[in-house]
Structure 1
Amino acid sequence: MLVANGYFDGDSIKTFENFKAQKNQKVIITVLDEFVNEQKSAFGLLKDKIVKISDDFDAPLDEFKDYE
């Protein structure tokens, strides 16, 4: 058995963690008298926050030279 926490967003139930459930697998849903702060999408969260990325950002790291 697996326990997953989440919230109801008004349309569907969203879980805080990913898990695998099989099609037609039974679930038990318990509605609590507790509320969470509204969740915002992580996409675009850092928009306009990263000012500059170094020119060698994707260059090989010195620590991995032995593996070249």
Structure 2
Amino acid sequence: FIQRQRVLALWRDIVKSTASIPDASMRRDMRQFARAEFEQHKHVTDLGHIRYLISLGKTQFDTMKNSLINSGIL
């Protein structure tokens, strides 16, 4: 249950951050990439693996967000 909340919180952060991308095409691509990652792993049931995926997702999201900030997009 707690992992589900963490996954949903990560998804909400991604959606909120991508909403501020001015270029609609880039915004759509970022969301599609994130959604594909979530969909790819939706059947994972091992708690340790879920924790790993959440951590990996946060790291990738932070990297993407910092890259967009540094390039002036966000």
Q: With structure 1 as the length reference, what TM-score do the two structures score?
A: 0.21
By relative contact order (CA 8 Å, sep 6+), the higher-ranking structure is 2
More helix by share: 2
Q: With structure 2 as the length reference, what TM-score do the two structures score?
A: 0.20
More strand by share: 1
